[in-house]
Amino acid sequence: MARILIIDDEPEARAAVARRLRRAGYEVEEAAGEHEGVERIRSNPAPFDLVITDMVMEDPDSGIRTLEAALARDMFSEVIVLTAYGKIVQAVECMRRGAFDYVEKNIPDVDVYELLVLRAGAALDRRLSSLQALRRYQEIGQREGIALVE
Amino acid sequence: MISEPPPTATPPSRPDGQPADPIELESFYRARRFLGSILDLDELLRALLEEGLEAVRGTRGFVGLLNRPRGELELRITAGRGWDTLPIRTLPIREAPGSGITVQVVRTGEPYLTGDVRRDPHYRMFFPDVRSELAVPLVNRDGWTLGVLNIESEIVDAFSHRDLQLLIALANQAAIAISVARLRVREAALLEFGNQLASTADPDDLLQRATQAAAEILRADECALFQLDEAGGNLILRAGGPDGHDWVGRVTYRVGEGLTGWVAEHGATLRVPNVHEDPRWRGLYPALQEDTVEAFLATPISPQGTLWGVLRAVRRQPRPEDVHALMPQEFTARDVLIAETLARQVAASLTRQSLLEQQIRMERLAAWGELSARAAHMIGNKVFALKGQLNELEHLTRAPHLEARQVLDVVARARRSTGQLEEILNEFRDFMTATRLDRTTTDLNELVRAVATETIPRTDAPAVHLELDPDLPPVQVDPGKLRRALSELLENAVIHQGPRGTLTLRTGRWGAAEAARWPALAGTARRISGRPAADSARLLPADPAAAEPVPPPAVRVEVQDEGPGIPETARSRLFDPFYTTRSRGMGLGLSIVKGIVEAHHGAITEVGVPGEGAHFLILIPGG
């Protein structure tokens, strides 16, 4: 079962996202801000498959730091950045740094929770295919005697 | 301030090297005493009177100074028996039989000596025992009568011709010293004027003060400030002297029309000794009758080289009963210099003010920007949570077996989110409306009691201790807004202190004890009570007793808790918007409190000791 970490300093928002994703069948953990989120990413025995993080928490760049922490732990972790007051510059910055997606919390006439379930599914598919590709490369490497990944 | 040595430092001698005549010499030596004290006009006059009495062996006397606009002689200094029981302190200067020897001297500018007042037609009796009287005018170098030195005796024919000569010489020396002293006073008033303008924030207040001060310093009967309208074609009355106030905004000159319009058109100072001889005169200023105006002085006000308006001063034509011919009505070259200095100072403060306004506008815009961004972020988050709860509700109701408990749980969450949303909206609204007040006469003690009862929970709360001053005067405040402010402070105190300890609420006047306890706040207390503004109505020192420090009329409300207190590092940001240690709301709480207090022209400060509890002190003017 895929494991997802949700980082948001708004308890109600965090709880709502967690409940929706659990309903979709994922194993979900929660962190109440950048500090706790980064700590979880680093200390968890296995890396999270997907990290969904709010952008503005302790400060306006909290989301960028959780994104970096997740990719530093496992470069094939997927990260979706959520924001309640989106700016294009920020979205571009997140994608450039390797986020899977950048989702605004408030989109008129869109149930962002359903959108999140879809995007989470897509992100986890990408992670899966990345990991499968990696495994194949490793097998080829082993067969040919080349170490691709330590 | 320019400091000049007292006039006349060496004894007078004749050009031929012969010793000066004895009268001149004696007057010189006697005058030395009061010439040394020209910084204080009353001290100078007292010295003059004492020297005069001693020189001619008089037993009673006074020095009177002319108040030209009022047409009165003010008895400034008196000596001898009986004055304390005599209610007279001014003499009207009228041409009427029996108006008195002194008045006669003022009117004619000539000295007067009488050996027996009982046989003198001009004599007006103040004291029944007076027999001889000697009165000399104080005439300055321009030939203007400033006042009178009057010496009396109970002996018939007490004064000789020599005494008269001696007193005249003494009076002449005194007149010079008085002129210098008055110059000093005017100079000090000019400096004070600049200081006041620099500390005045309200533009209408600034212009009103400027005209009042200009009228006083220029000794004008009427002083007015005209502002050029936006099109630049008309001058509109913005501020006028005491009588002109009602005319503000209603008196207009076209640029080029009348003397005032001429000044605007040419951008130059204009001084006219008698307006009736000037064809440009229109006399549109309704606070003065056209035919009563005589001397005119106006100068342009041009901040940063652009014409803003005109400062104008006029002097009335003396009425028949006035002291005409004693002092010319026309403005002097020195008055022109003073008017131009005043105009430059007004221009400088107008410039400063427009820069300040610009800065405030920019800051307000920036604050608005930040406020909107934060509000959008917080509201967005709450709405997002709410949508999540709706999403879940939809899912639950579609399930084949509706689980009422689960539905109610989600509804409770949704209610919480909605409540938080409303809290943010309320905070937003309170922040915006903090400065809009609906004042009524309010008993602050009652208000404090009510807020304490409403806000502090009955259980799990600290003990509340009320120290309310029973003599607290009612004040003009918005009770709703002040309740909002106080309940915010109380809520904070309860949250930070927890259920233990005591929470103290105090009311009282701001008095000497408080000023001694919080010396740093004494200036604030004076500022909020408007005390400087009241003092500044008179620029020229009038009554030295009025300068005594009086505790300003302000009341205080204190909220003191026994929680952790405010760390020194947080104190400066405490009242900033969005500064919060709580997760609730937007962090506007204390900035709303500050906004409400400041809208009342009050002040709020945190005066607690870090580690021992927070202590908020609110000062409200009034009482």
- The CA distance from A113 to B385, in Å, is 10
| Cα of B71 vs its chain's centroid, Å | 27
- For residue A137, the model assigns a pLDDT of 87
The mean per-residue pLDDT over the stretch B476-489 comes to 92
* Candidates B373, B376, B388; nearest CB to A16: B388
- The CA distance from A92 to A98, in Å, is 10
Residue A12 and residue B424 in contact, taking contact as beta carbons nearer than 8 Å? no
The nearest alpha carbon in chain B to A110 belongs to B387
Residues of B in contact with A112 (CB under 8 A): 384, 387
Contact state of A16 with B416 under an 8 Å Cβ cutoff: no
On the CB side of B454, how many CA atoms lie within 13 Å of its CA? 12
In a domain, B229, yes or no: yes
Do residues B105 and B155 both lie within one domain?
yes
- The CA distance from B504 to B562, in Å, is 9
> Please, what is the average pLDDT of chain B?
81
Residue B90 and residue B73 in contact, taking contact as beta carbons nearer than 8 Å? yes
Do residues B184 and B252 both lie within one domain?
no
Residue count (chain A): 150
* Candidates B376, B381, B389; nearest CB to A10: B381
- DSSP, collapsed to helix, strand or coil, labels residue B352 as helix
Query: Residue B239's closest CA among B200, B295, B266?
Result: B200
- If you write DSSP's letter for every residue of B430-480 in order, what string do you get? HHHHTT----EEE-HHHHHHHHHHHHS-SSS--EEEEE--TTPPPEEE-HH
Do residues B148 and B272 both lie within one domain?
no
Residue B286 and residue B249 in contact, taking contact as beta carbons nearer than 8 Å? no
Strand partners, B577: none
Residues of A in contact with B377 (CB under 8 A): 56, 84-85
Q: Of the given ranges (B34-43, B82-91, B207-216, B242-251), which has the lowest mean pLDDT?
A: B242-251
Contact state of B377 with A56 under an 8 Å Cβ cutoff: yes
Residues of A with CB under 8 A from a CB of B: 9-10, 12-13, 15-17, 19-20, 23, 56, 84-85, 105-106, 111-114
CA A142 to chain B, closest CA, distance in angstroms equals 48
Query: Which is more confident, B328 or B468?
Result: B468
- For B34, the token pair is 């009061």
In a domain, B194, yes or no: no
The mean per-residue pLDDT over the stretch A111-126 comes to 95
Sort strands A3-7 and A50-54 into parallel, antiparallel or unpaired.
parallel
In a domain, B289, yes or no: yes
Residue B105 and residue B112 in contact, taking contact as beta carbons nearer than 8 Å? yes
Q: How many CB atoms lie within 10 A of CB B568?
A: 9
CA A58 to chain B, closest CA, distance in angstroms equals 11
* Candidates B377, B383, B395; nearest CB to A23: B395
Strand partners, A104: A83
Sort strands B615-621 and A50-54 into parallel, antiparallel or unpaired.
unpaired
Residues of A in contact with B580 (CB under 8 A): none
Contact state of B392 with A17 under an 8 Å Cβ cutoff: no
Do residues B154 and B222 both lie within one domain?
no
B218-227 burial: b if 16+ Cβ within 10 Å, else e: bebbbbbbbb
Task: Report the percent of chain B where pLDDT is more than 90.
Answer: 25
Residues of B in contact with A85 (CB under 8 A): 373, 376-377, 380
Among B348, B369, B396, which residue terminates a domain?
B348
Is B579 exposed, middle or buried (CB count within 10 Å of its CB: 0-12, 13-18, 19+)?
middle
pLDDT tens per residue, range B509-535:
888 788 888 877 777 776 666 544 333
In a domain, B83, yes or no: yes
Contact state of B391 with A113 under an 8 Å Cβ cutoff: yes
Among B348, B366, B390, which residue terminates a domain?
B348
Residues of B in contact with A13 (CB under 8 A): 381-382, 384-385, 388
User: Is the interface score ipTM higher than 0.90?
Assistant: no
- DSSP, collapsed to helix, strand or coil, labels residue A56 as coil
Q: Which residue has the tokens 């009505």?
A: B329
Q: Does B391 touch chain A (CB under 8 A)?
A: yes
The mean per-residue pLDDT over the stretch B396-415 comes to 90
CA A97 to chain B, closest CA, distance in angstroms equals 23
pLDDT tens per residue, range A40-77:
999 999 999 999 999 988 888 899 999 999 999 999 99
Residue A72 and residue A13 in contact, taking contact as beta carbons nearer than 8 Å? no
Domain range for B28 is 22-188
CATH of segment(s) A3-144: 3.40.50.2300
Q: How far is CA B200 from CA B302, B414, B547, B601, in A?
A: 19, 52, 20, 14
In a domain, B4, yes or no: no
| Cα of B583 vs its chain's centroid, Å | 45
pLDDT tens per residue, range B275-311:
888 888 876 655 556 567 788 999 999 988 889 999 9
The nearest alpha carbon in chain A to B413 belongs to A12
- The CA distance from B43 to B299, in Å, is 36
- For residue B140, the model assigns a pLDDT of 80
- DSSP, collapsed to helix, strand or coil, labels residue B7 as coil
- The CA distance from B178 to B45, in Å, is 8
Do residues B467 and B568 both lie within one domain?
yes
Domain count, chain B: 3
Amino acid at B551: P
pLDDT tens per residue, range B573-608:
888 877 776 656 677 888 889 989 988 888 899 999
Residues of A in contact with B389 (CB under 8 A): 12, 16
In a domain, B385, yes or no: no
Do residues B455 and B571 both lie within one domain?
yes
Q: Does B412 touch chain A (CB under 8 A)?
A: no
- For B553, the token pair is 């009329």
Q: Does B424 touch chain A (CB under 8 A)?
A: no
In a domain, B430, yes or no: no
Query: Which is more confident, B240 or B584?
Result: B240
CA B397 to chain A, closest CA, distance in angstroms equals 14
In a domain, B42, yes or no: yes
Q: Which residue has the tokens 């915006």?
A: B432
Do residues B137 and B84 both lie within one domain?
yes
- CATH value at residue B230: 3.30.450.40
The nearest alpha carbon in chain A to B417 belongs to A12
The secondary structure element, H or E, covering residue B69 is: none
- For B556, the token pair is 């205080």
Contact state of B385 with A10 under an 8 Å Cβ cutoff: yes
Do residues B28 and B163 both lie within one domain?
yes
Above 80 in pLDDT, residue B23?
A: no
- The CA distance from A137 to B509, in Å, is 83
